[in-house]
Structure 1
């Protein structure tokens, strides 16, 4: 009398990794995510390694997690993986402030984001 197995959220030739609470705005994170969409994973890792954006290190960590999930959990070939999707979402916003002149209050918002990366195994055409 056990529960049914949870269905997979992605296809049989895909694997996914998600990172939450990344301390950057979704707009800035999307610039880095757009840089790797549709590329082979080795090229995407190289681009993230040499990127000057601060958040690129966290995106690289998420991509490496997706690659490890594909290899260990779903038995996919790492050499044939492509970044199928990389999408960005909003998370919480810390609200801080700073006193300004004439009794006013300067609002400082510190946004957080989340990143989801899906890798797909694609066979190369000869």
Structure 2
């Protein structure tokens, strides 16, 4: 049954001869098997973009489970809204795309500026000013976790073996003996010139 995988142009009549049917099959375009996964957003929230950006920086390059647990335990007011959005992403992947949320991670997370409402600010001596009620929203883009190949493991092992820390087995002695606490002073006394007292720090 090729009809479910191909879209037949309308100008061809499938009830005609075999030549028309072959031409329709040759020009037919295969249907896409999966829809692209869109970006997800929290919607406008009553917070400033600067405060919300701290949460966006926190969940980047995290898996969905790690990001949700992090947002539920963070000491920020809007962390719960971000956690609910990440939970909704997992349900959408399971219901609409038949995917497991454990196979995805947050590739990008950025903050958008919403409406800044202007309100009256009452001050002393009959004066007034303007205050702003900021709004912002957070968007995330998810991507499937790529399995690590053997080449990545070999490169990681090569970089690890390339830099080897050398342990010193002998104590380090100063090249020039410490003859005085004032190295710019020329000492001519016998107690400083004596090699037995070369490594002993003394005060003049």
For residue 119 of structure 1, the aligned residue among 101, 126, 142 is 142
Distance in 2, matches of 1:30 and 1:21, equals 14
Distance in 2 (CA, whole Å) between partners of 1:28 and 1:123 is: 32
Q: Is the 8 A contact 1:14 1:121 kept in 2?
A: no
Contact persistence 1:15–1:69 (CA under 8 A):
no
What secondary structure sits across from 1:101 in the alignment? coil
- The answer to whether the 8 Å contact 2:116/2:135 transfers is yes
Q: Please, which runs of 5 or more residues in structure 1 have no aligned partner?
A: 1-10
In the alignment, the residues of structure 2 paired with residue 87 and residue 26 of structure 1 have an alpha-carbon distance, to the nearest angstrom, of 10
Of structures 1 and 2, the larger Rg is shown by 2
1:48 aligns with 2:71: yes
Query: Which whole-Å CA distance do the structure 1 matches of 2:107 and 2:141 have between them?
Result: 6
Q: Distance in 1 between matches of 2:37 and 2:146?
A: 13
Name the counterpart of 1:67: 90
Is contact 2:71–2:79 with CA below 8 Å preserved after alignment?
A: yes
Deviation (angstroms), 1:91: 0.8
Q: Among residues 81, 98, 101, which one is paired with 1:58 in the alignment?
A: 81
Structure 2: which 5+ runs fail to align? Answer: 1-33, 150-204
* Match runs of 1:1-126 below 5 Å: 14-125=37-148
| Secondary structure class of the residue paired with 2:76 | coil
Conserved in 2, the CA contact under 8 Å of 1:19 and 1:116?
A: yes
TM-score relative to the length of structure 2: 0.52
Q: Tell me how large the CA RMSD over aligned residues is.
A: 2.0
TM-score, length basis structure 1? 0.80
